[in-house]
Amino acid sequence: MSSQPLRPVPGPDDASEPFWEACARHVLLLQACGGCGTLRFPPRPMCPRCNSFEQAWVPASGRGRVWSWVIAHPPVLPAFADRAPYNVIVVELDEGVRMIGNLLETPNEEIAEGMPIEVAWEDVEDGVSLPQWRPTQ
Amino acid sequence: MNDYPRDAAAIVGVGHTEFSKNIGRPERTIALEAIKMALDDAGLTAKDVDGLVKFSLENTMEVEIVRNLGIPNLSFFGDVGYGGGAGCGAVGHAAMAIATGVAETVVVWRARNRGSGGRPWATRPTNKQPGEMQWFLPFGLSRPVDQIAMLTRRHMIEYGTTQEHLGHVATSVREHATRNPNAMMRKPMTMDDYLAARWVSEPLRLFDCCLESDGALAFVLTTPERAAALKQPAVLVRAASQGIGPDHLVMANYFTANPLDTPARYAAQELWRLAGMGPDEIDCAQFYDAFSPLIVISLEEYGFCKPGEGGPFAAEGNLKLGGALPSNTSGSSLSEAYVHGMNLILEGVRQLRGTSTSQVENCENVLVTSGNGVPTSSLVLRKP
Ligand SMILES: [Zn+2]
């Protein structure tokens, strides 16, 4: 047994499985309503706008901006202890939806609201990749 | 729509254990202690109780309360969800049961050994995160403080709210706690003390966070008619509301159109409609304060300030006794104890009984709120 604390990984459900399956291939997909086209994140079975159960998965641009961020200091989960203090950001994608991630390749003190960022994949386990973010190159 | 039954139930008994880091007794025991004290306070017994309302997160079930207390016939029971958002809603459910005649005397309680019981966020069993956690935990957004810090940073970006504003919130609340013998933190705190404290999740520091506490509280409610014959002055439930806004996701509603509109924005609108009054008529407020910025956001959402004015309002001293809106007059979650906000309801009752250690003169109407990062609830309590 490894003594390395287990890193939390996504536990896909019926609604999110296509999202995480695409992430494993380093493709960022967004769930869209099959009835009215409204994007929704996180994924779910029904469109809150038109109540359609129809859905489509559309490629995201992978570009966005920093909407907010925190710097987490100890005590944190054991799996994150060796990287504290570490950042967590909310990114607003160009498509308008927001998601949570970490901003890589950036000192914590250089993070700023509105920074242009792009998706950068982090492989955390066999078959599990997280959409992460780095300054737009 | 029928008229909302205002003032149709009264809080007639309160009970609470001591608040401590390690109370040394199980949650079940302290739940029963608090309920017994609340019944004694009212001059009622278990024979009078026909309803119970609890938090969904409560670990002691109704059957345990019934068979320990000796309740002969429990005909109404229910629970309210979302942790810190539940307290005022639980009292509201009890009041609705009484107003409709479904029950006559209802107990609401919460027992939580959180000081000695470890950190719930650190003990999730597996590395595969289900439900909403799959979107947060793989990135290390793991603690409630991280989730609220994220909203706080956005509030700072949009409105210029500062760390000193939050410091004024924390020091105002502490000033009240210095006079409250029940409070766990009674040492005076200066702005320098506040700013020197360590970071927990930037932009939040240690003193922006509530205490980790053990403790239990209970309230007994009954009809205003019956209340008039009991030992304590009745405290009427003027109105209670609940709220979940659009596209909300538990503690991190960053996915809504305007995440700075927390569920409290919706609970507030409903509360003022049901109560038939507005913020101008409130003499004293007890805002849910798992974290200091929640007071700033609540000031704005409940209509005491415009968006962005909550921080300056606190900095002007308005939250202190003698200020425009004395708030969290017991020291509340930041300095008295954190029992999922139930001690805020207790302090609302104390203010209306005239027994607060930071008593507001001529206090007639009190606002109490529950947690506004989560689906939430609120109350207006008043004197008959
Ligand atoms: Zn639709």
Which structure tokens are listed for B20? 């401590």
Q: For ligand 1, a single-atom ion, which residues have Cβ within 5 Å?
A: A 33, 35-36, 38, 47, 49-50, 52
pLDDT score of B124 more than 70: no
Helix (H) or strand (E) holding A19: helix A17-24
Neighbours of B360 (CB within 10 A): 20
**Distance from the A13 Cα atom to the nearest Cα atom in chain B, whole angstroms:** 7
- pLDDT per position as a tens digit, B282-297: 999 999 999 999 999 9
CA separation for the pair B214, B113 (Å, rounded): 4
Neighbours of B168 (CB within 10 A): 25
The number of C-beta contacts closer than 8 angstroms across A and B is 117
In DSSP notation, A58-116 reads EE---EEEEEEEEEE-SS--GGGGGG-SEEEEEEEETTS-EEEE-B-SS-GGG--TT-E
pLDDT value for B245: 93
Neighbours of B369 (CB within 10 A): 30
Contacts of B276 (CB under 8 A, 6+ apart): B6, B239
Which of A76, A83, A90 is nearest residue B150 as measured by Cβ atoms? A90
pLDDT value for A1: 43
Average pLDDT value for chain B: 96
Say if the Cβ atoms of A124 and B138 lie within 8 Å: yes
- Centroid of ligand 1 to alpha carbon of A53 (angstroms): 8
- Angle CA B353–B358–B359, to nearest 5: 40
Helix (H) or strand (E) holding A134: strand A128-135
pLDDT score of B140 more than 90: yes
Contacts of B265 (CB under 8 A, 6+ apart): B243, B245, B301
> Which are the catalytic amino acids of B?
288, 338
Which residues in chain A touch residue B136, judged by CB atoms under 8 angstroms apart? Answer: 100
- Angle CA B100–B105–B109, to nearest 5: 110
pLDDT value for B15: 98
Say if the Cβ atoms of B121 and A77 lie within 8 Å: yes
| Percent with pLDDT over 90 in chain B | 93
- pLDDT per position as a tens digit, B212-244: 999 999 999 999 999 999 999 999 999 999 999
- pLDDT per position as a tens digit, B367-377: 999 999 999 99
Contacts of A110 (CB under 8 A, 6+ apart): none
- pLDDT per position as a tens digit, A70-126: 999 999 999 999 999 999 999 999 999 999 999 999 999 999 999 999 999 999 999
**3 state SS of B176:** helix
What is the interface pTM, i.e. ipTM, of the complex? Answer: 0.97
pLDDT band at B337 (very low <50, low <70, confident <90, very high): very high
